[in-house]
Amino acid sequence: MVMLMDFLFENSWKAICPYNPKLDLKDIYIYDTTLRDGEQTPGVCFTKEQKLEIARKLDELGLKQIEAGFPIVSEREADIVKTIANEGLNADILALCRALKKDIDKAIECDVDGIITFIATSPLHLKYKFNNKSLDEILEMGVSAVEYAKEHGLFVAFSAEDATRTPIEDLIKVHKAAEEAGADRVHIADTTGCATPQSMEFICRTLKENLKKSHIGVHCHNDFGFAVINSIYGLIGGAKAVSTTVNGIGERAGNASLEELIMALTVLYDVDLELNLEVLPELCRMVEKYSGIKMPKNKPIVGELVFAHESGIHVDAVIENPLTYEPFLPEKIGVKRNILLGKHSGCRAVAYKLKLMGIDYDKEMLCEIVKKVKEIREEGKFITDEIFRNIVEEVLKNKKNSAQGE
């Protein structure tokens, strides 16, 4: 049995849909913005200690870049970013800056490895955010910011805000100018989550054809539930970097979920991101606690019900081979499956639970326990281990009394 489980663990990806393409994605990486864009979730404000803990855990996961914050926001924020930058983490630490010299100077004071600077480029933003300024006027600000940051030895990512609602010819113009100014990476920001996977692939593919040195990053919001798949299609189109947040937190509907993106690429597309996957559950629970945003029980990848089974048909199959009803083994992310008992449980599930608890039983006793489990669950009570043990003790007591009566 151990050898079988080892084989399944190592080859669990082979049980996925055979039509899924194996993507030839080389040198791709994730830069996480939980500490910046995630904290912009209404009502969320991390303490210094919380940000440090999250940063350490992101680093333990193995991410290459962590966006630690927006230093110009406050002296407290600047102090936190500087503390993270001097924590000795393996990840490079980035800070967000407007396309302003004072923002970049503040980031430099924080000892960060790089910055993400941005300008809005869509006609909508140019009209209403910048009072009808021309794209050329705004672009001049962006180019100056990139050049200034590069003069100070920083890694520079240049982001076109609302890129997915910007004409493609303008995007090409803006990003080529940023590249010529020295930008290491240029971003496609799907600011309102309105892109489709096909449009994201098209934008990234077209942009890649027009760039010579800078690589592309995608920053996707989840307003239509497309953030993760849009990020993947961005990679298919030629992007090399993806912005994420833990648990997908962020403004409005949030951002691309770190844990969902990682596992989709790892399991469904067979991409080796060289990450410590077992860190994911603890990281997600940490952000859930510190953000105050509770994860749904059926949250993909890390929800408490993701590897839980109750239906008798499912449980029977999972006991024989977990991959019958699981896309990958829970051990891959350092968790265990849970066989729940309830209305839909059968003899196999109850027998499995009895075995785990070291309780001997015969067929008559097993059938009686199954019956009691169903009755109690249908009364509205959850079958916890304590309640299950009480059921077993009651059945044993009844059996003993019956035997003595005979």
Instruction: For residue 157, count other CB atoms closer than 10 A to its CB.
Output: 29
Q: Is the pLDDT of residue 8 over 60?
A: no
Provide mean pLDDT across the span 47-69. 98
- Give the pLDDT score at 406: 56
Encoded tokens for 46 = 């991390």
pLDDT of residue 145: 98
Given a contact cutoff of 8 angstroms between Cβ atoms, the answer to whether 332 and 323 are in contact is no
- Sequence spans of domains, the chain: 29-291, 308-405
pLDDT confidence tier of residue 135, bands split at 50, 70 and 90:
very high
Among 60-64, 85-89, 97-101, 339-343, where is mean pLDDT lowest? 339-343
pLDDT, residue 3, reads 54
Q: Is the pLDDT of residue 12 over 80?
A: no
pLDDT exceeds 50 at position 379: yes
- Per residue in 382-403, pLDDT (tens digit) is 888 889 889 888 888 887 777 6
Mean pLDDT of 155-166: 98
Under 8 Å between Cβ of 117 and 136: no
State pTM to two decimals: 0.90
What average pLDDT does the segment 356-378 reach? 87
Span 59-74, average pLDDT: 98
Least confident of 138-147, 176-185, 291-300, 368-377: 368-377
The chain-wide mean pLDDT, for the chain, equals 92
The amino acid occupying position 230 is N
**Percentage of the chain with pLDDT > 90?**
73
* Weakest mean pLDDT among 14-18, 39-43, 150-154: 14-18
Question: What is the CB neighbour count within 10 angstroms for residue 151?
Answer: 10
Among 276, 253, 271, CA closest to 261 = 271
With a cut of 90, say whether residue 258 has pLDDT above it.
Answer: yes
Task: Give the lowest-confidence range in 169-178, 211-220, 383-392.
Answer: 383-392
pLDDT of residue 14: 56
pLDDT value of residue 7: 52
Task: State the virtual CA torsion across 77, 80, 86, 92 in degrees, nearest 10.
Answer: -70
Of 25-34, 75-84, 379-388, where does mean pLDDT reach its minimum?
379-388
When pLDDT is averaged across residues 131-150 and rounded to a whole number, the result is: 96
Superfamily (CATH) of domain 29-291: Aldolase class I (3.20.20.70)
Per-residue pLDDT, 1: 47
Alpha-carbon Rg for the chain in angstroms: 26
Q: Which two tokens stand for residue 392?
A: 């077993």
Contact indicator for 191, 162 with CB cutoff of 8 Å: yes
State the average pLDDT over residues 218-230: 98
